[in-house]
Structures are given as structure tokens and as C-alpha cells.
Structure 1
Amino acid sequence: MQVSDPTVRDGPPGAGAPAAGAASGRAVRAALDEPTLVARAQDGDVHAFEELARRHQDALFRVAVRVLGQRADAEDALQEALLDAWRRIGTFRGEAAFSTWMYRIVTNRCSALVRRNRPTVPLPEEDTVLIAGPDSPERSAEVDAELAALSRAVQELPHEQRTCWVLRELEGLGYAEISQVTGAGETAVRGRIHRARAALAERMREWR
């Protein structure tokens, strides 16, 4: 999934540079470490922010689509989050990882969409297949049905539980980092994930 550049409308002037020079600039930025890119973006370098967005947008979109359940809603949330991040880059103080800061902005945008009571539906089955193909058409159909059931079960979790579960089980974030992303205490995060796991285990009991 390629997200269109969120900074085109808000970035500084300077378009029209030679293509060769632009390509050379992209190569230089791609070799920079993240703290350097963040510092440059905070100084107003839109191209440095573009490189940061490029590095993180796939993971951010993955979280958004799993939390919201619809690709279109996830794309909207991500675009808005990237614009928010560009406008607020000066507030980043490095107290947490830049990725954690971005996760928080994206999950806040997802929460805003949920509060608007926009309906969510399970992801298409092809978006949730995470394991290798089975040995027979019958087994393939069974696996597809089970994954679709899991997708529905995840979408039926309360939003706070779903967000924490996605960040922990699908993105591999630690409890402390999820606490930083969501703004909830670490004990609350652990409780949400525990309740989400219990609810999913109950919903998926028939597939055991």
C-alpha cells in the first residue's frame, strides 16, 4: 500500500528541482539515521519527513486497518495521522521512540473515527491469511472460514481492547510501549489484552 505524500499541500516551496538531483537527494536521505531525519524535519525539511513517513507508513497502515476493519477508513486515518505528524513534528521530544509517537497519532485518529460511530466490517479473508496454504481444498476452506471468524471476533472487541490486542499480538509491541501509544497505564493495558484474549478464546472455541 502506497500512501500519497501527506506533505505536498503543507510543505515548503521548492518543487521543480531536476529529477537527477531529486533522486540523489532521496538516496542521501535514505542513508540517514532516524534521529537525524527527525531533527531535519523539525527544522522544516519536508523531504526528511517524507522519508520518515516512507519508513513507517506500512506498519502504521497495518495497525489502522486491523483496528478499524476497513481499508478505506484505515487509509483516511493514516493520511490524517501523517498530516498531524508533520504539523506537530516540533512537539516530538524523543522521550519515546519516533515509531511509538507515530503509533499514538494513528491510534488516536482511529479512535476519532470510532467515536463518530462509523460502522466497521471484518477484513476480507485474503487480508487476514497469515499462515501457509493447506494440503487440500477442504482444509483450505476450513482455514479460510476460521480466519474470517477470527477477523469478525476481533472487530467485535471493544475498541480499547482491540487496539491493545492488535499492538501486542499482531505488531509485537511490549506492554510499556503500548502504554505510551494508548496513554493508558501499563496495568490497564495488560488487563485489556487479557480480556481480549479471553473473549477471542471463547469466540473461537468451536474451531479448536
Structure 2
Amino acid sequence: MTTSTGPGAARRGTGPSELDELFRTHRDRLWSVAVRTLGNRADAEDAVQETFVAALRSGSGGFRGEADPGTWLYRILMNKCIDRMRAHPEPDVGQDTSPDPVGGVATRLVVDEALGLLPPEQRAAVVLVDVHGWPVAEAARILDVAEGTVKSRCARGRSRLLELLGHLREEP
């Protein structure tokens, strides 16, 4: 049986060929979520690899069929990312209020640094909802929390980002 809950939806089964298809379908977006969540390409690659290994190990025992298989995979990824963030807290980074000599690239780096200063749970919610555009309901399923929890984590994360990035609004 197949599911039609989104683009690139995969089979409900979790045998080797179905997992291979699921990985191919979601690999690039998983990596994108991981790199924005963790702020480091090497950590993101490790988290995605750990996600695939965990999915393979759990096989049919891990996927209960209650959600889209992609959601199951993203939940594994976010758990791996949160574990990594807790194990390696980001150092406090000062604000750079100097003019942005290279335009959007420097601004993106500052935003990524600010994301790195959020607590892991807030960062995960903000990255899923605000950076990658997931609906709150889907982010709640991925993070395995209530929708209200995702909303409050996003609100607190946005508030902290406003404090950290408010200086960007004042630039010409």
C-alpha cells in the first residue's frame, strides 16, 4: 500500500528496497534540515548517516504506520540533531554590527550563528517551521510533541532571534 501524503511519498513497508527508496527521496532535504539545525556540514552529514543507520536497524519495528514514512525519518533525524546539540553546546557568539561587505552571505552566517544560540528544542522547531516551511502539525509529528508545544517553542525562539538579530533591521 502506498501513501499520498506529500511529494515523494514512499511505500508504507520498510523493507530494504522501500528504505532505499525512502532515503533517496528524502536525502537532500534531510541534509538541508540537519545543516540548518546543527550549523555544521560535518555534523549534518553525521546526523543524516546516523538517521539512515537507525532507520535500517529499526526496520519494520520502528515505523508504526501511523504517519508518513518521511515524517518517521525526519523524527529520527531531529532526535539525532537534538542529541548532538546537547552533547556539543555552541559557544556564545558576539554580535557583529559592522557593515555587511558581502551582502546576503554574511547575513546568512550571522543568522546561522544566532540559530546556534537557541536551545536545541527551540532551534529544531524554528528550523522546521520557519526555515523549511513545515506546517506546525507536521513539525509536531516530527518532533513528537503537541502542536501547541511547537508553537510556543517557535515563539520563544523567534523572540530570542529578534534580540540577537535586531541590529540587522537597523542597517541600511
Q: TM-score surpassing 0.5?
A: yes
CA distance in 1, matches of 2:41, 2:160: 24
**Structure 1 residues 33 and 163, CA gap change in structure 2 (3 angstroms):** closer
User: Percent identity over the alignment?
Assistant: 36
Instruction: Determine the C-alpha separation between the residues in 1 that align with 2:9 and 2:78.
Output: 25
Shift of 1:115: 2.8
User: Which residue of 30, 36, 60 maps to 1:60?
Assistant: 30
Deviating runs (4+, > 4 A) in structure 1? 118-122
Unaligned runs of 5+ in 2: 1-7, 94-98
Q: 1:59 to 1:119 in 2, by over 3 A?
A: same
- Residue 34 of structure 1 aligns with which residue? 10
Q: Secondary structure at 1:103's aligned position in 2?
A: helix
TM-score normalised by structure 1 residue count: 0.67
Larger Rg: 1
| Distance in 2 separating the partners of 1:53 and 1:168 | 22
Aligned pairs, number: 156
156 and 94 in structure 1: CA distance in 2 versus 1, 3 angstrom threshold: same
Aligned residue in 1 for 2:120 = 159
- The aligned residue for residue 191 of structure 1 is 152
Q: Which has the higher contact order (CA 8 A, sep 6+)?
A: 2
Q: Which amino acid aligns with 1:105?
A: I
Matches within 5 A, 1:28-177: 34-35=10-11, 38-39=12-13, 41-42=14-15, 46-91=16-61, 92-117=63-88, 119=90, 141-177=102-138
Provide the alpha-carbon RMSD of the alignment: 2.4
Quick check: 1:165–1:196 contact (8 Å CA) kept in 2? yes
TM superposition shift of 1:118 = 5.9
Distance in 1 (alpha carbons) for counterparts of 2:47 and 2:17: 22
